[in-house]
């Protein structure tokens, strides 16, 4: 990929640029891009050699990655990630120290058994919610609520670990007396009802890595038919991001053995309440 003039002056712009360029990148650069969005703090603070070892590439590949995004070198790209840390610190004072306390708690945890498991999940859940507060822009919630309020019918889709989130959203929307439908694949009948979704409807879709192929396919097909798609996923490189009119990105380290549902469920509740406020105006 030929280098171009730098376009991304901040982290949010960089995520959009990565989403745009990702399909045309080599597999190696795609691996670096995925790592960068999953570990933005590491990208800000670690040396290029340390990061290269984490990705499993040569340091020169990290430099090529930066140049593919239009930067002169890796240090210029790293400044964007460092700018993200400064911005977070200014917007959420004390948050970084709080996370450090959580990490210290986890590192010093001596208990095992059920009590230790509970303590671990509580700590992970708190950290996940603190990140959610950073990652979800109020403007995106407002845009999603407005989009959904203008829809004739709302369809909700999420499989595997995302299914509880989808089920809750469909349940809560029905409690608001909206026409909401939970899409499932019982009897292999997912695609048939999905084809009935039209531009006057809306689709809420939830999927995280490893993305369920059937869910991605339905979201892309709806996008092609100009159906408003609201996505809850993990980062800007998700295949759902390119199909979504509004995309909520809940960044989460995938190295954990168990991925949390705390943040997606909290976001789902916030989205339902925001929609309820929108339709009551």
Q: What is the CA radius of gyration of the chain?
A: 20
Q: Which structure tokens are listed for 153? A: 């019918």
Q: Which residue, among 208, 184, 96, 200, has the nearest Cα to 148 in the 3D structure? A: 200
Q: What is the CATH number of the domain that holds 148?
A: 3.40.50.10490
Domain match, 84 and 41 both: yes
Chain mean pLDDT for the chain: 83
pLDDT-derived band at 221, boundaries 50, 70, 90: very high
Domain match, 68 and 171 both: no
Domain match, 33 and 124 both: no
The answer to pTM > 0.95 is no
Q: What pLDDT, in 10s, does the model give residues 170-199?
A: 999 999 999 999 998 777 778 888 888 999
Find the domain containing 213 and state its range.
138-279
User: Angle CA(170)–CA(176)–CA(182) in degrees, nearest 5?
Assistant: 15
Domain match, 142 and 224 both: yes
Cα distance between residue 155 and residue 194, in whole Å: 8
Q: What is the CATH number of the domain that holds 48?
A: 1.10.10.10
Q: What pLDDT, in 10s, does the model give residues 66-84?
A: 999 888 889 899 888 888 7
- For residues 183 and 157, is the Cβ–Cβ distance under 8 A? yes
Q: Which structure tokens are listed for 105? A: 């708690």
Last residue of a domain, one of 31, 66, 90: 90
Cα distance between residue 176 and residue 180, in whole Å: 10
Domain match, 180 and 230 both: yes
Q: What pLDDT, in 10s, does the model give residues 4-53?
A: 444 567 888 888 888 888 888 999 999 999 888 888 888 888 888 989 99
Q: H/E element holding 54?
A: helix 48-55
- Beta-carbon-side half-sphere exposure of residue 2 (alpha carbons within 13 Å): 2
How many helices (DSSP H) and strands (DSSP E) are in the chain?
Answer: 13, 5
Domain match, 126 and 86 both: no
Tell me the range of 226-230, 253-257, 260-264 where mean pLDDT is highest.
226-230
pLDDT-derived band at 258, boundaries 50, 70, 90: low
Residue 1 lies in a domain: no
């Amino acid at each position: 990929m030929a280098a171009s003039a730098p376009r991304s002056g901040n982290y949010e712009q960089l995520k959009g640029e990565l989403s745009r360029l990702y399909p045309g990148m080599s597999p190696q650069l795609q691996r670096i891009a995925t790592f960068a969005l999953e570990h933005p703090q590491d990208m800000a603070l670690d040396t290029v050699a340390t990061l290269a070892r984490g990705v499993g590439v040569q340091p020169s590949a990290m430099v090529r990655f930066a140049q593919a995004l239009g930067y002169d070198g890796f240090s210029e790209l790293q400044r964007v990630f460092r700018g993200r840390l400064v911005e977070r610190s200014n917007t959420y004072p004390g948050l970084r120290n709080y996370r450090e306390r959580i990490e210290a708690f986890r590192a010093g945890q001596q208990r095992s058994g059920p009590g230790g498991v509970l303590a671990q999940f509580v700590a992970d859940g708190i950290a996940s919610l603190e990140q959610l507060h950073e990652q979800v822009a109020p403007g995106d919630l407002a845009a999603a609520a407005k989009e959904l309020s203008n829809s004739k019918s709302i369809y909700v889709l999420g499989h595997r670990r995302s299914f509880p989130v989808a089920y809750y959203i469909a349940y809560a929307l029905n409690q608001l007396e909206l026409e909401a439908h939970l899409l499932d694949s019982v009897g292999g009948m997912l695609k048939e009802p999905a084809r009935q979704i039209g531009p006057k409807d809306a689709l809420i879709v939830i999927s995280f890595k490893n993305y369920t192929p059937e869910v991605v396919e339905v979201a892309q097909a709806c996008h092609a038919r100009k159906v408003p798609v609201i996505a809850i996923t993990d980062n800007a490189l998700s295949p759902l991001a390119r199909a979504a009119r509004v995309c909520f990105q809940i960044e989460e380290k995938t190295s954990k053995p168990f991925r949390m549902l705390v943040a997606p469920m909290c976001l789902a509740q916030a989205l339902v309440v925001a929609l309820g406020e929108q339709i009551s105006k």
